């Protein structure tokens, strides 16, 4: 199936005859010309956290949308969704950046911690190198378990005090800067 992410990843370089032959609607075929001419590149970001992180997720999504950063959300502790297959953490490889929301709630949740560990321990370089840890609580910096120590060895953006608008905006700017420094080039 051809979708917006296909056209975005190609920077609008997919042959229009191919798209038309594949049944892509004409307005979408025409939109790729605008994408190609703009020279813009978009990083696809996956936010992974706990179902209890909804307030932070909502605030991040608004900020990222304002910065024109396409983003999706997965709850690493949504057992029903994970079991049914409607949420699959293996799909993290399809994103340019995977942002782990390291809140106290997510780090203290055994299911979320286990799923974070599986992402960090992914044998391929793709997911591990794309991870950014968003640390919202001191627990992230104080825990000496394998998960937190491993995450601290990677990219960490300090979101402690994120309820304060000024601190949130500073942290959000730092997070977006990390997207610009993505290890994946388009």
115-138 tens-digit pLDDT = 999 888 765 556 777 899 999 999
Model pTM score? 0.76
pLDDT beneath 50: ranges in the chain: 183-186
State the pLDDT at residue 126: 61
- Retrieve residue 66's tokens: 């304002």
24 and 85, same domain (yes or no): no
Give tens-digit pLDDT for 21-34.
Answer: 888 888 878 877 77
pLDDT at site 42: 64
Q: What is the pLDDT of residue 184?
A: 41
Tell me the residue range of the domain where 66 lies: 45-180
- Note whether 15 and 82 are same-domain residues: no
Using CA atoms, how far residue 147 sits from 47, 82, 117, 182, in Å, is: 17, 21, 6, 22
| Distance separating alpha carbons of residues 56 and 23, to the nearest angstrom | 39
Question: Based on the number of CB atoms within 10 Å of its own CB, is 135 exposed (0-12), middle (13-18) or buried (19 or more)?
Answer: buried
Q: Are residues 72 and 15 in the same domain?
A: no
Any idea what the CATH number is for the domain that residue 139 is in?
Answer: 3.40.50.10140
Based on the fold, state whether residues 127 and 165 are members of the same structural domain.
yes
How far CA 17 is from CA of 7, 13, 24, 125, 135, in Å, comes to 14, 12, 10, 35, 47
């Amino acid at each position: 199936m051809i979708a917006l992410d296909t056209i975005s990843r190609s920077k609008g370089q997919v042959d229009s005859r191919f798209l038309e032959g594949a049944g892509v609607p004409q307005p979408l075929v025409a939109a790729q010309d605008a994408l190609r001419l703009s020279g813009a590149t978009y990083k696809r970001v996956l936010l992974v956290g706990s179902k209890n992180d909804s307030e932070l997720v909502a605030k991040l999504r608004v900020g990222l949308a304002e910065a024109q950063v396409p983003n999706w959300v997965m709850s690493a502790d949504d057992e029903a969704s994970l079991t049914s297959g409607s949420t699959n953490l293996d799909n993290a490889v399809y994103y340019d950046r995977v942002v782990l929301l390291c809140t106290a709630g997510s780090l203290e949740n055994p299911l979320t911690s286990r799923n974070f560990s599986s992402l960090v321990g992914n044998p391929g370089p793709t997911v591990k190198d794309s991870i950014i840890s968003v640390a919202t609580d001191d627990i992230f910096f104080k825990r000496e378990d394998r998960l937190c120590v491993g995450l601290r060895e990677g990219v960490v953006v300090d979101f402690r005090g994120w309820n304060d608008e000024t601190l949130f905006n500073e942290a959000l700017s730092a997070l977006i800067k990390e997207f610009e420094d993505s290890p994946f080039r388009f």
